[in-house]
A and B are shown apart, each in its own frame.
Chain A
Amino acid sequence: MIDFSVILAGFGGQGILSAGKMAAEAALFEGKEVSWFPSYGPEMRGGTANCSVVISDEPIGSPVINDADVVICLNQPSAEKFEASLKPGGVLVIDSSLFKFAPTRTDITFIEMPASDIATELGNMAFATISMLGCLSKQTGCFSRASFESALYEVLPERRHKLIPGNLNAFDKGAEYAK
């Protein structure tokens, strides 16, 4: 049985909430139960943003995550805050293009990936979070690359389908950082 949870966190405007939604969409495409729950309220504007995504074979209980399998962070305050939310054996992924971080926990897998550099190289900053989803997919198998691709075709309006190859490229580059 799969019962998988991931927290994505960073500054508002980095595409955290949409990346979380894309992960949920990809898992939904596989027929999984999914939930997506955002931080909401005053911190939405300019401050930190985060969302919790749960993927499961069974109906989902709480969409709020206490023990995450994976935490993906695009800023330092989020890494400091959410490192503690990981299960033993969980995975912490950070965008090492943006900040340096030294985990205090020794019972987790730590992945530093230059997500923003990958995005800059590909010419679209929105690809930073997409590359991190690639890493997530490869590292955990919580959804497949094929489902991600199908979900993109389903969710993006037709006029934006031309962006899909770029998205997949970012996804693949991110996958290389899986351990």
Chain B
Amino acid sequence: MAQKRVLMKGNEVIAEAALRAGCRNYFGYPITPQTEVMHYMAKKMVQIGGNFVQAESEVSAINMVYGAAAAGARVLTSSSSPGISLKQEGISYIAGAELPAVVVNIVRAGPGLGGIQPAQGDYFQATKGGGHGDYRNIVIAPASVQELYELTVEAFNLADKYRMCVMILGDGTLGQMMEPVAFRDVEPIEVYEKPWACTGRGERKEHNTVTSIYIDPDVLEAKNRELQDKYAVIEKDEVRYEAYGLEDAEIVITAFSTCSRISKNVIRQAAEMGIKVGMIRPITLWPFPSKIISDTAAMPNVKAFLDVELNAGQMIEDVRLAVNGQKPVYFHGRMGGNLPTQKEILDKIIEIHNGGNN
């Protein structure tokens, strides 16, 4: 039973969702445009007897996350692009030690200090590793404040289920905007036993250790194979996407998060002009919804793809791999913190409709 819709800021909803998911540990460092997550936690976490620590750096914050996760807790940190770069060391260790943790990246424009306005320039970093070594994070891209809530709760379940880092990839738009959100009365919290956690030996005969170091190459290779086997299961079971008007689409837009919202309105405008446009919106960026894209590319009604992103073209590489040359894939992107207008995207659609030569 959902409660009545209330107007809330995306960043605050992330924090509220984490609390509802049973997370009682937050470690972070201030950075625009995600600081409201911290502000919310600083107050609420203390009120409910949880842990809030403003760390001395993002590096330290992610290692506090590592510690709390190793101790068996549900734990959250949030940051924005430059801060997420600093957290990559810890995220790699979290992957190596197979610890459950949720990391939120409210992406801003880069590279370097860049700007503070919305962007999706961290797609590669989020989906291709980011830190050192062969590992994956589950990467979830909500497109609304309501989804920020639901998918943040889900992120904690997935983190515990697979003992790995789940990253929520938002952007400055989603984090800063207010939208109505309806909370559930009861959260679908999945409880996973954590017999591996370092909780003090207590009654246990053997001591538990959490580590990511395996000096023997054969042992480390076996460990890596275990990780890859786990990732294969996730690629099979956890792909999420929204498909929209594919049956008779002439052009299919691929876009995630903020870009998918803008594109949906464009699809309506295009329909009024008699151009049939569909959309595939990846909700999990890793695992990537390759199959639906590949299958859609094979449909005779589909003439072309248009990938829309807030970057120079990052997800388009995964789209092209999935399309695998079956149809042309066009691109429209904005950078620096700018969002594409509906008109820009519509113009691109018209250009492609008219035989596009981009």
Contact = CB atoms under 8 A, between A and B. Distances in A.
Interface in A9-45: 21, 24-25, 28, 33-38, 40-41
Interface stretch (A54-62, A110-118, A137-145): A54-62
B159 to A, nearest CB: 29
A108 interface: no
B264 to A, nearest CB: 6
Interface string B268-293: 10000000000000000000000000
B104 interface: no
A64 interface: yes
A61 B281 CA distance: 14
Nearest to B174: A63
Contact of B116 (A25, A40, A63, A66): A40
Contacts of A25: 7
A63 B177 contact: yes
Contacts of A28: 5, 7, 180
Contact of A61 (B117, B180, B262): B262
B3 to A, nearest CB: 13
Nearest to A63: B177
B173 A63 contact: yes
B342 A61 contact: yes
Given A41-B32, A41-B116, A64-B339, A34 B179 contact: yes
B211 interface: no
Contacts of A66: 341-343
A59 B261 contact: yes
B7 A24 contact: yes
B33 interface: yes
B262 A21 contact: no
A35 B179 contact: yes
Interface hub of B32, B172, B180, B262 (most chain A Cβ within 10 A): B180
A123 B317 CA distance: 60
B42 interface: no
A58 B179 CA distance: 13
Contacts of A40: 32-33, 116, 172, 176
B271 to A, nearest CB: 13
A60 B263 CA distance: 11
A140 B176 CA distance: 26
A33 B7 contact: no
B180 A36 contact: no
13 contacts: A25-B7, A33-B180, A34-B179, A36-B7, A36-B179, A37-B176, A37-B177, A40-B33, A41-B32, A60-B261, A61-B342, A62-B342, A63-B173
Given A59-B261, A62-B339, 19 more contacts: A21-B178, A24-B7, A25-B7, A33-B180, A34-B178, A35-B178, A36-B177, A36-B178, A37-B176, A37-B177, A40-B32, A40-B176, A41-B32, A59-B264, A62-B265, A63-B173, A63-B177, A64-B339, A66-B341
Q: What are the 3 tightest A-B residue pairs by CB atom distance, in nearest-first order?
A: A61-B265, A36-B178, A37-B177
